Structure 1
């Protein structure tokens, strides 16, 4: 990793969208008490989609949008494609190593035989690399076909291919085709620690996750066009978003919206909502110029990966601090509020602490790049 003191020129609405997503991610990942959480701040049990389920696909969508802006800037500077692909490969490897090292440090367990290999950052890393290669090496028409083939192909795999040892295709947590692939290739010891029989960021689910990144590339390419004015861009983004959501709700009737499986309907549903949200941000911030409220989100958005990594460490070590014989949460929140409100305020406290750290980075113009 390297740090630069030069603030890059960015699409402000994208930074705000990214920053708001990161802030919400920290909020839902660090409640004061996991036993007391408001329903919208929890993941859906299986099928369905809560606001919390939007965080990860929104971030992958923004990875796709960012690829367009980053690659076009680097093309303009004269950088060749081979170097850009090698840089993307290096970033993918570093993101994976960060995940695995963080996991071992936080658990203080350096047994590689028990290391969970899939995860949020590894999936982001793979999607980033593959989508970068596709953006540099294919046309938009080809990427559109890859998008369709990925979604339809994944649907056919998950609903028609019999699962070895089970005998029939199904969409249940432990017996679907993706779970079998993960147990076979990665082995149970390297899967999600809560079950070791399946993983919500498994290998097969990376295929539709790539489609989420391609969705973002499609929107980013549209935003980058110079032959359309901003009103037309915004209108069509809303239109694309609504069409995707409607298509997702139809597909949901026979291939349910499901984050853990990253179903094709989930890709369309979350991609459509992300497009609508970005369109709103773009219109309000970049077109109409409403920027006063953006600062808190930009602080997170310009150092998103750093904020994500620190969100694993800072809450962990804050919980080790004792005030007498109680934690900070047990001292400041638990005695004075109802269980769910105390839990929510504890999460907001963590968001505030992390924001202060990222604010210091922002003031010093330190933007950590991988």
Structure 2
């Protein structure tokens, strides 16, 4: 457990907002009835839902800087910190694989492993966390910035200039880009995103630029810990850096489009810039001005972020395993039965779907509020 007084409340609030947004986006009553802001962009572009994962990786980076920043100048502690980060990476990666296997692993274990999706949100988070930790420990802030920019430029070159085997030209189409080709050949089709099985939004090559997102968070964390600058100066630098990143991302978008599935370099700059601006605003209101009372329900999400992400992924799958008899005499899952009974008769399809998602948001808020008040903070 980690004592709350040692934490940056604005960071926990930002993390909580991000995870709450994830709960809202991931739990519609019907995937066929979702309001536009709660959808991912079909390909190029960026919706509010597309901001959730990059914000989370950005926050991972900020958290690294705060968690081990005091030990960075103590080389004798690095081996222990790296070993700890290896264990955490493996834990996160295995949790992600388990989510991909569940519940099939208990009914058809052999088939489950044959078709398990290897990439995923927790898997990418694990890799970004580990590599970002190593870079933070071993390099200066200036070098970290150079590495981040180097990763973004290298990824842009790979995706837009390197020919794709079997295609013959570099492109950014869904199934014929270089990242999709690498995923199909290294991971093979049965282990990719089940919606298409031809490419994966959390694939191998895109993890290069995702690491840059984590490093952008590390740089923000380093800035917030500087003792030679006032709070006003820190906030001004966060705002200015964020604005510059957003503008640069929008300009780069003309030749390397903002795209979450590809995690393009322009997407990294655009989303990281927005994260800088939001963190600066949260830091000013919550930690500098001291307005903290309103933050507690959201902070409750933030201090147990991985827990709620993991368990909220298991619960719907579990409810789908339980079969009940509906009013028409047919067997249906408990999840579907509850949704159709509680909301479908009374609301339009889109409002019913949204209300169902809000219900899950509030249920988890109650659970996490109880955990928060009892000081139950589960660390992975």
- TM value normalised by structure 2: 0.93
Alignment partners' CA distance in 1, 2:77 and 2:345: 60
Contact preservation (8 Å) 2:117, 2:190: yes
Deviation at 1:76, TM superposition (A): 8.9
Shift >6 Å, 4+ stretches: 76-79
3-state DSSP class of the match of 2:378?
A: strand
Alignment partners' CA distance in 2, 1:112 and 1:324: 33
2:143 aligned partner: 142
Deviation at 1:115, TM superposition (A): 1.0
1:69 aligned partner: 66
2:234 aligned partner: 233
Alignment partners' CA distance in 2, 1:302 and 1:182: 34
2:368 aligned partner: 358
Alignment partners' CA distance in 2, 1:149 and 1:75: 23
Deviation at 1:357, TM superposition (A): 2.1
**RMSD of equivalent CA atoms:** 1.8
Structure 1 stretch displaced more, 140-149 or 161-170: 140-149
Contact preservation (8 Å) 1:322, 1:328: no
3-state DSSP class of the match of 2:182?
A: helix
Deviation at 1:170, TM superposition (A): 0.3
1:312 aligned partner: 313
1:253 aligns with 2:254: yes
1:133 aligns with 2:130: no
1:86 aligns with 2:83: yes
1:291 aligned partner: 292
Deviation at 1:9, TM superposition (A): 1.5
User: Equivalences for 1:255-294 in 2 at 5 Å?
Assistant: 255-294=256-295
Contact preservation (8 Å) 1:252, 1:265: yes
1:48 aligned partner: 45
2:378 aligned partner: 368
1:97 aligned partner: 94
1:336 aligns with 2:346: yes
3-state DSSP class of the match of 1:327?
A: helix
Looking at both structures, which has the greater relative contact order when contacts are Cα pairs under 8 Å and sequence separation is at least 6? Answer: 1
3-state DSSP class of the match of 1:217?
A: helix
Stretches of structure 2 lacking an aligned partner (at least 5 in a row): 328-335
Alignment partners' CA distance in 1, 2:240 and 2:88: 34
Give the 3 Å change call, closer, same or farther, for CA 314–33 of structure 1 in structure 2.
same
Deviation at 1:6, TM superposition (A): 4.9
1:121-170: CA deviation from partner (whole Å, max 9, x where unpaired): 00000000000000001111111111111011100100000000111100
Structure 1 stretch displaced more, 198-207 or 305-314: 305-314
Alignment partners' CA distance in 2, 1:14 and 1:73: 18
1:39 aligns with 2:36: yes
Structure 1 stretch displaced more, 360-369 or 338-347: 360-369
- TM value normalised by structure 1: 0.95
1:299-334: CA deviation from partner (whole Å, max 9, x where unpaired): 100000001001102233345475854611111111
Give the 3 Å change call, closer, same or farther, for CA 273–6 of structure 1 in structure 2.
closer
Structure 1 stretch displaced more, 250-259 or 181-190: 181-190
Alignment partners' CA distance in 2, 1:15 and 1:346: 26
Alignment partners' CA distance in 1, 2:4 and 2:262: 37
**Length, aligned pairs only:** 367
1:46-67: CA deviation from partner (whole Å, max 9, x where unpaired): 0000000000000000000000
3-state DSSP class of the match of 2:165?
A: coil
Alignment partners' CA distance in 1, 2:296 and 2:76: 32
Contact preservation (8 Å) 1:310, 1:354: no
Deviation at 1:257, TM superposition (A): 0.2
Alignment partners' CA distance in 2, 1:163 and 1:78: 43
